[in-house]
Structure 1
Amino acid sequence: MQLPDPSERPYATPEIVGPKVRRLLARNPSPFTYTGTQTYLVGDGTDVAVIDPGPADEEHLRAILDALGDARLAAICCTHTHRDHSPGAAPLAARTGAPVIGCAALTLADDGPRADAAFDPDYRPDRVLTDGESLSGDGWTLTALATPGHTSNHLCFALEETGALFTGDHVMGWSTSVVSPPDGDMSAYLASLARLYERKQDTVYFPAHGPVVEKPHQLVRGMLGHRRARERQILRQIAAGHTRVEEMVPAMYKGLDERLFPAAGRSVLAHLIDLERRAMVRREEETWRVLEE
């Protein structure tokens, strides 16, 4: 996908995107992050929460602090700990005294080929939210939803007062999410998508990358269908003799920027692992074959 011209993006400029919600865009555009990581400020009263403070970039940190104005920062919330999401938490906490509340810490030496290479090793939450736990401030309540798949520690946050859901990288407004083993898990990702589809109270999604999702259930239904179509495509590829992941990707992702082939390969691998669990395929060293019914 062609990225928009960075000069046209509102970096370091707060935008009101919904009731009680402002958005700040970090200047870290890439083929993996689209126009950059979107940080959200939740609340319009005496205190606010920040969701996904983004990279530890001085321009972005100053923009967050400026956007706070006279309000107290009550919580710094992270959906997960990839390096484009959580590194800004520590310096923002140091400057404001706000606690870091949200996903659990998670560090792997290798999470496959990504633009940001790895998890954030310096993330230290003051409080880990489990599924269904909430935190609140002046006129706002955020409830954590465990949505593993993209990462095992991924959370979404529901703003109870408005029906908004902050979806991090689980559901993005511009692309499907990379699911990269060993931590990324396609079985868990599909179950998390199905869970969101059942939540009829969510009327709008605010993702960490890409535009606001104004028809969330329609999008999630399409994403579930897309993943099932990928499964069928993989099975056809194996039947056609393309038994290695690196052979499947160019045939399956025609027109995709080749810089994204390694990441696409990780999602294909995640699908294959899911299919193997369901006894539909079997791994034979670096190749795969379809099991007979």
Structure 2
Amino acid sequence: MPTGTLLQMSPRIGRVLAPNPSPFTYTGTQTYLVGTSDLAVIDPGPDDADHLDALLAAIGGRPVRAILCTHTHRDHSPAARPLSAQTGARVTGCAPLVLDDDGPRADAAFDPSYRPDRVLADGEQVRGEGWTLEALATPGHTSNHLCFALAEENALFTGDHVMGWSTSVISPPDGDMADYMRSMQRLLDRDDAIYYPAHGDPVENPRRLVRGMMGHRKQREGQIMRFLERNGASTIPDMVAEMYKGIDPRLHSAAGRSVLAHLIDLDGRGLAASAGDGLWRTA
């Protein structure tokens, strides 16, 4: 998939791939341009000069009504402010959020430069000529995550909440498995025809994918409980070594974060508990 090239996904939707591939971003972050005569830009991506030039070329001098960010990981939002300076568009979308990142993802540290001109609450809309985007609060991957629904095409821009190549990393303290599952149920209850994720291909049977992803999380939860019942008090690395055999070793730390998110959720439901010294046990 070429970077820096505008690919037209539909009459209203174009996509430009940023040059930031990694084990966590797949081929890179996908920035979407919505509209024809005037535009919204969704997830402007990293603050990379080549990507900014590619976005400006794709915009082609058309008015940009809003620069929308699904969340503030630094592969999504840092280009918002320089793009705003070039186009005059307001930075709009998720709330700012900066935490000390103790997780394994260098690409996913929160963006301290993000200063939105307008924060969208759940259900609020941004409009242009022939397009309407509605914010949908989907906490879980991050507490400030939004998806954006395009009414005219029954499409949903899902950011990192649902990706086209992998499940989302849920990394505490901000990532929350219980919130994620509630947000997934919210998507399952909708009738969107297609998802446009920030990473990976469009999802053309979204409800089937969401059901599968929710089932995967429930299976992982069951694996954790069976591991603890079989082995007694155990560490997260012990669980990862057994439950994630065959995955890229560079992803083991991220897998550990997701296991921790499951354990915190299980603890909140009275099914597991910390045993101290990095050990977890059944409750």
TM-score for the superposition, normalised by structure 1: 0.94
Deviation at 1:117, TM superposition (A): 4.9
Q: CA deviation at 1:275?
A: 0.5
Per the alignment, residue 89 of structure 2 pairs with 98
Q: 1:111/1:189 Cα in 2 relative to 1: closer, same or farther (>3 Å)?
A: farther
Matches within 5 A, 1:278-289: 278-285=269-276, 286-289=278-281
| Alpha carbons of structure 1 residues 111 and 170: separation in structure 2 relative to 1, 3 Å | farther
Inter-partner Cα distance in structure 2 for 1:158 and 1:110: 29
Report the Cα distance in structure 2 between the residues aligned to 1:205 and 1:37, rounded to whole angstroms: 15
C-alpha RMSD over aligned residues? 0.9
Once the two structures are TM-superposed, the CA of residue 69 in structure 1 deviates from its matched residue by 1.4
Q: Distance in 2 between matches of 1:221 and 1:207?
A: 16
Q: Percent identity?
A: 64
Q: Give matches, 1:1-293, under 5 Å.
A: 9-45=1-37, 47-200=38-191, 202-241=192-231, 243-285=234-276, 286-291=278-283
Distance 2:110 2:230 in 1: 36
Superposed CA deviations along residues 132-169 of structure 1, whole A, max 9, x for unmatched, are 00010010000000000000000000001110100000
**Does the CA contact (< 8 Å) of 2:75 and 2:108 recur in 1?**
no
CA-CA distance at 1:96 after TM superposition:
1.0
Q: How far apart are the structure 2 equivalents of 1:90 and 1:251? A: 43
Moved over 4 A (4+): none
Per the TM alignment, residue 238 of structure 1 is displaced from its structure 2 partner at its CA by: 1.1
Count of aligned residue pairs for this structure pair: 281
Give me the TM-score of the superposition, normalised by structure 2: 0.98
Can you give the 5+ residue segments of structure 1 that lack an aligned partner in the other structure? 1-8
Separation in 1 of the partners of 2:157 and 2:50?
Answer: 23
Unaligned runs of 5+ in 2: none
Counterpart-to-counterpart distance in 1, 2:43 and 2:161: 13
